[in-house]
Structure 1
Amino acid sequence: MSQFKKLNTKKYLKTGKVVTPDTIYWKQLSVPTLVKEFGAIDYVDFSPIEPYYFAVTCSVRVQIYNPITKLVVKNLSRFQETAYGGTFRQDGRLLVAGDEQGLVKLFDPSSKNVLRLFKGHKAPVHRAQFTQDLLNIASFSDDRIVKLWDIASEKATLTFAEHEDYIRAGAINPMSPDTLISGGYDGKIKMYDTRTQQVSYSIDHGSPVESLLFLPTGGIFISAGGTEMRVWDAFAGCRLLTKISQHHKTITSLRLGSNGKRLLSGSLDRHVKIYDVATYQTVHTLDFPNAVLSLGVAPDDQTVVAGMVDGLISIQNMEVDRSKDEVTKRSKNKPQPLTSMNIDHDIREGVLPKLSKYDHLLRKYEYVKCLDIVLTPYFARSNPEVTICVMQELIHRKGLHRAIAGRSHEFISRLISFICRFIGEHRFMRVMIDVGMILLDVYAPQFHEFTGELGKDFIRLAGVLRREVKLTYDLLELQGCLELLQTASASSDAVDELIRFVTSENDQLKQSAQAKESSILTV
Structure 2
Amino acid sequence: MVGMVGDGKIVAEYVPVSSKQFPKSRNPLSAESKFWRTFKRKVSEQQTFAVTCINFCPTPPHDFAVTSSTRVVIYDGTTCEVKKTISRFTDLAYSGSFRSDGQLLVAGGETGIIQVFDVNSRTVLRQLKGHTRAVHWVRYSPLDKLHVLSASDDSTARWWDVASQEVALKLEGHTDYVRCGASNPSSADIWATGSYDHTARIWDLRSAQSVLTLEHGKPLEDVLFFPSGGLVATAGGNVVKIWDVMGGGKLLHQLGSHQKTVTSLCMTKSTKSSSASVEESPRLLTSSLDGHMRVFELNSYKVTHVAKYPAPILDMDVSFSCTTLAVGTATGLLSVRQKKDRNQEDSRSSLVSEDTKLAPSRFRKQRVLHSNNFRYFLRGRTEKASEEDYVLARQRRARLAEHDKFLRRFQYQEALAAALRTTDPTVVVAVVEELMARSGLMSAISNMDIESLEILLAFLSKYTTVPKHSRLLVPVTHKVLDKCASSFGHSRELQQKVGLLREKVVAEVHLQESLQRLQGLLQPLIQASVR
TM-score over 0.5 for the alignment? yes
For the pair 1:379 / 2:463, whether they are aligned, the reply is yes
Question: Structure 2: how far apart are the matches of 1:38 and 1:216?
Answer: 35
Quick one: distance in 2 between partners of 1:176 and 1:80? 36
Partner of 2:360: none
- 2:223 pairs, out of 205, 212, 224, with 212
Gap change, CA 1:417 and 1:16, over 3 Å in 2? farther
Q: Distance in 2 between matches of 1:94 and 1:7?
A: 68
- CA contact under 8 A between 1:10 and 1:385: conserved in structure 2? no
2:405 to 351, 368, 372: 351
1:281 aligns with 2:302: yes
- 95-104 or 111-120, which moves further after superposition? 111-120
Q: How much has 1:48 moved relative to structure 2? A: 0.6
Q: What does residue 159 of structure 2 align with?
A: 148
Structure 2 CA distance for partners of 1:377 and 1:258, relative to 1, 3 Å: farther
Question: 1:110: Cα distance to partner?
Answer: 2.3
Q: Aligned runs of 1:356-367 on 2, under 5 Å?
A: 359=432, 363=440
Q: Alpha-carbon deviations, 1:218-255, whole Å to 9, x = none?
A: 11111112221111111111111101122222221111
Residues 363-411 of structure 1, C-alpha deviation per residue, up to 9 Å, x if partnerless?
5679xx99x9699642356x4432243348999xxx9xx99xxxxxx99
Task: Compare 127-136 and 225-234 and name the one that shifted more.
Answer: 127-136
| Offset, 1:14 | 4.3
Query: Which aligned pairs between 1:367-446 and structure 2 lie closer than 5 A?
Result: 377-380=461-464, 383-391=466-474, 417-421=507-511, 423=512
Match of 2:141 among 108, 131, 140: 131
**Residue 176 in structure 1 maps to residue 187 in structure 2:** yes
Give the conservation status (yes or no) of the 8 Å contact 1:9–1:389: no
Q: Match of 2:213?
A: 202
CA distance in 1, matches of 2:475, 2:258: 42
Partner residue, 1:87: 97
Give TM-score scaled by structure 1 length. 0.68
Partner SS for 1:236: coil
Q: What secondary structure is seen at the aligned counterpart in 2 of 1:11?
A: coil
Matched, 1:165 2:176: yes
- Which amino acid counterpart does residue 306 of structure 1 have in structure 2? V
Could you say which residue in structure 2 is the equivalent of 1:64?
Answer: 74
State whether residues 100 and 143 of structure 2, in contact with CA within 8 Å, keep that contact through their aligned partners in structure 1: no
In structure 2, do the counterparts of structure 1 residues 375 and 24 end up closer, same or farther at CA, with 3 Å as the change threshold?
A: closer
After superposition, the Cα gap between the structure-2 partners of 1:78 and 1:8, relative to the gap in structure 1 and judged at 3 Å, is: closer
Could you say if the C-alpha distance between residues 199 and 288 of structure 1 is closer, same or farther in structure 2, counting changes exceeding 3 Å? same
Within a 5 Å distance, the mapping from 1:317-336 to structure 2 comes to 317-319=338-340
- Between the aligned partners of 2:309 and 2:238, the Cα distance in structure 1 is 18
Q: Does residue 1:187 correspond to 2:194, yes or no?
A: no
Structure 2: distance between partners of 1:220 and 1:270: 26
* Residue matched to 2:235: 224
| Separation in 1, partners of 2:37, 2:333 | 21
* 1:262 is aligned to 2:283: yes
What stretches of structure 1 of length at least 5 have no aligned partner? Answer: 323-334, 404-409, 424-460, 482-523
1:53-105 CA deviation, whole Å, 9 max, x = no partner?
A: 11111111112111223222222222111110011122323221100001111
CA–CA distance in structure 2, aligned partners of residues 389 and 269 of structure 1: 44
- Give, in angstroms, the shift of residue 133 of structure 1: 4.1
Equivalent position SS for 1:295? strand
| TM-superposed deviation, 1:274 | 1.6
Counterpart residue number, 1:42: 52
Q: CA deviation at 1:43?
A: 0.5
Report the identity percentage: 28
Write the deviation string for residues 196-232 of structure 1: whole angstroms up to 9, x where unpaired: 3222222221222111111121111111122211111
1:241 matches 2:243: no
What SS does structure 2 have at the residue aligned with 1:202? strand
Equivalence map 1:475-514=2 (5 Å):
475=526, 480=530
Cα distance in 1, alignment partners of residues 341 and 518 from structure 2: 48
Tell whether the 8 Å contact from 2:461 to 2:504 is kept in structure 1 after alignment: no
Q: Give me the whole-angstrom Cα distance separating, in 1, the residues matched to 2:17 and 2:509.
A: 25
| 3-state secondary structure, aligned to 1:203 | strand
**Matched residues in 2 for 1:289 and 1:394: separation?**
43
User: SS of the residue aligned with 1:389?
Assistant: helix
What corresponds to 2:116 in structure 1? 106
> 1:171, 1:198 → 2: CA distance?
16
2:478 aligned with 1:467: no
2:122 aligned partner, one-letter code: K
In 1, are the aligned partners of 2:97 and 2:106 still within 8 Å (CA)? Answer: yes
Query: Which one is further off, 299-308 or 120-129?
Result: 299-308
In 1: Cα distance, 2:502 partner to 2:81 partner: 62
The equivalent residue for 1:117 is: 127
AA aligned opposite 2:96: G
Cα deviation, residue 12, structure 1: 5.4
Tell me, yes or no, if the aligned pair for 1:374 and 1:390 is still in contact at 8 Å.
Answer: no
Amino acid in structure 1 at the alignment position of 2:470: T
Residues in 1 aligned to 2:179 and 2:247: alpha-carbon distance in whole angstroms: 25
Residue aligning to 1:492: none
Q: Structure 2: which 5+ runs fail to align?
A: 1-10, 271-280, 346-377, 382-392, 408-414, 421-428, 447-452, 484-499
Measure, in 2, the Cα distance between the counterparts of 1:347 and 1:80: 78
Change (3 A) 1:165 1:389: farther
Q: Distance in 2 between matches of 1:258 and 1:192?
A: 24
CA distance in 1, matches of 2:94, 2:135: 7
Q: Is the 8 A contact 2:235 2:263 kept in 1?
A: yes
Q: Distance in 2 between matches of 1:246 and 1:91?
A: 36
More helix by share: 1
Q: Deviations over 1:471-517 (max 9, x none)?
A: 24544665x48xxxxxxxxxxxxxxxxxxxxxxxxxxxxxxxxxxxx
The 3-state SS of whatever aligns with 2:246 is: helix
Distance, in Å, in 2 between the alignment partners of 1:73 and 1:9 is 57
Distance 1:475 1:15 in 2: 26
SS in 2 for 1:467: helix
Please say if residues 133 and 153 of structure 2, whose CA atoms lie closer than 8 Å, have aligned partners that are also in contact.
yes
The one-letter code of the counterpart of 1:469 is G
**Residue deviations 1:412-456 (CA, integer Å, cap 9, x gap):** 9975642442x5xxxxxxxxxxxxxxxxxxxxxxxxxxxxxxxxx
* Cα distance between partner residues in 2 of 1:192 and 1:263: 23
* Residue matched to 1:298: 319
TM-score (norm 2): 0.67
* Counterpart secondary structure, 1:26: helix
Residue type of the alignment partner of 2:215: D
- Give me the CA root mean square deviation: 4.0
